[in-house]
Structure 1
């Protein structure tokens, strides 16, 4: 498919193609993603809860020992008993608590590690491939195609996008060879879920 690109330079030619791959794993099972351990959020939450719980238990023990409660707890109890619900600080505190709760729920329900792609393997040990490394491998394969001057490859979780510049040969021929080279490259990556492919080839901008 050869088409004219409309833009500042109407003489710029480009050729584009898209291809869909089987995105299902063998036996129809969906490939499992790697889950992040969330060390930083979990550690911060644990420290906050530990400090708050320790301070509260210390104050309760002081009250049991016939000592007056800490000023902060008396002030907090008075504020909660007397401050109206439509107060701006009550709303701000409630909104902050909701946002923090939603953030923790999202962290708990999502796997994270979006830069790591699951690889296909029959061994009990799971393997993963960085998206940046996969893009580098596919870029090297694309640069081997005759006529390709430069190429940018972006590897997503569901699609690989390649944008190349060709300084000679017909654009459709270059794009066809790029399709074949990148198809083979994607298969050789051994991903459990092979992404779709989108290739765009154009001439360098005239100076």
Structure 2
């Protein structure tokens, strides 16, 4: 009887695992694992409840914070809160220190009209450019056909593996999580 109970429990577990994978997909499980790792590393922290919301877009302000964490300058960003060089960024906004550090480190720029556009969703092209810069490969990118030249460099580095890239399309938090995860195995280019 003991063997029979073990067999039933084993079959029940296998069935549960199959149902879970069918209902949620292997990609969801992989993305959740990536999210746990990125949270543990302090690169992505989620919303106030800790939810990663992988299907949501990510703003330029949020991504500035992520990029500063990637280069290990979170504490410097907390010290640099206040005025930025951008006319549309209030000095009291939570992201000012991250924006200042990201700009000072050559990761991100504003727009030609002197704005940063805090709440605008970051595009794949913008996010990839920032990540390539953060990894130290920005100065090695060839050509002037932005953002395609950065997308090409990112693809060669393996940064965009498992992400469907469309240059002008807003990047989701899931896209960013996968690219951040990919960046962890790319040697620094400096």
Calculate the TM-score normalised by the size of structure 1: 0.27
Higher relative contact order (CA 8 A, sep 6+): 1
Structure of larger gyration radius:
1
If each structure's helix is expressed as a fraction of its own residues, which one has the higher value? 2
Choose between structure 1 and 2: higher strand proportion: 1
TM-score of the two chains, using structure 2 as the length reference: 0.29
